[in-house]
Every structure is written in structure tokens, then in C-alpha cells.
Chain A
Amino acid sequence: MIELLSQPWPWYVAGTIAGLMVPLLLILGNKKFGISSSLRHTCAAVIPANIRFFRYEWKKEQWNLFFVVGIFVGGFIAGTVLHNSEPPIVAESLRSQLSLWGINDFTGLLPSDIFSFEALFSVKGIVFMIVGGFLVGFGTRYAGGCTSGHTIMGLSNFQVPSLIATIFFMIGGFFSAHFIVPFILQNL
């Protein structure tokens, strides 16, 4: 069983579980699937700094923090008990493109060339990890949600604003993957 679960899971299994999060959270306690809000609740809990956006009773939303701690623990279980030492499959066309751009490490889910503590001493690493992370936090809150809150929860409830947000997530992502990421990899 452990053997089977350690193999990479196919998309339809992952999609089904992710989709089931929506009705499951509704039934467990009227909660709306969404993850980026955990960042906001953490700000509200730790450094509200009298900013109106963070002045609310974050404790009413603490279920969301339990949920993301669960994601962390799930990641730990997947990386230990269910660990799979096979390198991930990367599409050949992408692999050769990335090699040209200077990515050499294809052994893990993240290339250590740009995602490691050592990489933090390079401009490239700083831009990918710190600027990238900042944009994720700033952008999701500005958009009012992320891939879970808008794309999965919002689209499941046929919300037009979520469709607009999802379209622009993709536009930003395509632009970034084709212009920004190659630029940083080749020039910084």
C-alpha cells in the first residue's frame, strides 16, 4: 500500500481530492476552500500595525490556520513515509529549454540552482525566492484569492470574478514563464 502511494499520483486522483475539498469544508463547518487568506490571518495575528485591513478578529478564522498547518504536516508525511527517490519526470522539450537557460538540477521537485539557502547568496536566487514570494503574497491578496479560493472554490460556484481572476493568473503566468523567468535565468 505504502509502495503504491509512494508512486507519483495521477492528475485525476489529485484533481478529485482537490475538488472534494470544496464540499468537504462546506459540510464540516460552512468553510470556503481558500489558502491565501491564511497569509492575511497571520499578518492580522502577528503584525496588524493598526492597519484597517488587518484589524479584525482573526481568531474567527483560525480554522484556516489549522488547515495550512495540516498542509505542512501532509507535506512532511509525503516527503518521509511516502517518499519516492525517483527524480520527477520533466517533459523533454522543457528540460532541454531549461538546460539552455542554466538549470542543471533535475533531481528534485525544485531545482536547487535557484531554490536553496545557497541560492539566496545569488541575485538569481533572491529574485526567484524573495521577489517571487512577494508577488505571490501581494498578488493573491490584491486579487482576493488564489488558485484554491478563486480557481477551484470560485469556479465551482460559477463566480464570474473568479473566472476573470483565473484568466489573469494564467496570463501573468504565461508572460512570466516565457519572458521574465528566461530573462532572470539568462541575465542575472
Chain B
Amino acid sequence: MQNTHHETLEENQARHLDSVCTNESELDHPWWHNFKYLIVGILFGITLVKSEIISWFRIQEMFHLASFHMYGVIGTAVVIGSIGVFIVKKLRLKSIYGEDIHIDSKTFNKGQIIGASLFGIGWAMTGACPGPLYAQIGSGFFAISVTLLSALAGTWVYGALREKLPH
């Protein structure tokens, strides 16, 4: 019994490693409850394409300071997101399942410098962060599946080398 508990703990630690997006819920839902996230994803995907966030040209414009567009998108998103988080915390809102909403704090590690710089380099090359990769493929740029596979390979290699990299 003790052993099982220990393993669960280790499993949880592995899942939360340097991650900004893991989620621990005490609730156990049937898998089809996840369809609501598919709907939200569809809304986000349409937005990514229609506002040209998936455009390689828009990303080049951003890094050449040739257009305000991307700064407007990201700036507005952060302002709206902050107001959302503020309201959620202030009113102690609960999830639709009645669960308390909690957001873990992030801890600093060198990955946020080294890894972030490497991602920045790739971002300007591909003109895409991970979200737009999915949206680009969906909107008909099928060749980007190769880029997505390569991003999966990059993630896997990071996982394999993780212990050897400075953090």
C-alpha cells in the first residue's frame, strides 16, 4: 500500500515536471466530457486562421516591427486574460463541477532563458508556435504535418536529454 502511494506520487511529479499546463482534478469524468474542450479548441482554431495569427508573414512583420497586428493580438489577450484571472480569484469562482479553481505558481529555471530563446528562433523560422501548427494543417497547409512531426521529435529529444541539460 505504502509502495503504491509512493509510485503515484512519483508519477504525479513526473507529470508536473517544468510543466506550466498540468492539471490535477479530484474528479473523474467519463472521457466524452472532454468534448467541450474540442468545441473551445474549434473557436480558437478559427480565430487563429481568420486573424492571420497562423500567417508566416504576420510573424515576420512582428519581428521586423512592420505591423502592429501581432502586438495588438497578444497585448489584448494578456489584458483580457488578466481581467479573467482577477475575476476568477476575486469572486472565488468555481468550475462548472463546483471545484475550487487554483492556478499553480511557476518556478524559475534556466529553460525559460535557453529553451525560450531556441523556441523564439524556431518561431520566426516556421512562423508558428504550436497552436498555429495545428491550425495551419487544418486550414489546408498539409505540408506543415512535417513541421508538426518535427516538433514532436524536438519534444521527445528534450525529454530524452532532460537530465543532462542545465535547468
Contacts and interface: CB of A to CB of B under 8 A. Distances in A.
Given A151-B78, A152-B74, A26 B21 contact: no
B77 A152 contact: yes
Interface in B32-64: 33-64
B63 to A, nearest CB: 3
Interface residues of A, number: 137
B56 A110 contact: yes
Contacts of A13: 47, 51
The main secondary structure of chain B at its interface with chain A is helix
Contacts of B46: 74-75, 77-78, 82
Contacts, number: 561
Residue from the set B62, B123, B135 with the largest chain A CB neighbour count within 10 Å:
B123
Contacts of A108: 141
A25 interface: yes
Contacts of B119: 135-136, 138-140, 142-143, 146, 169, 172
Contacts of B154: 133-139, 141
A176 B127 CA distance: 11
Contact of A21 (B44, B79, B127, B139): B44
Contact of B85 (A22, A64, A137, A162): A22
B124 A173 contact: yes
Interface in A77-92: 77-79, 82, 88, 90-91
4 closest Cβ contacts across the A-B interface?
Answer: A70-B41, A172-B120, A74-B45, A15-B76
Interface of A: 5-6, 8-40, 42-43, 47, 49, 51-57, 60-64, 66-79, 82, 88, 90-91, 93-94, 97-98, 106, 108-111, 115-117, 119-120, 127-162, 164-178, 180-181, 184
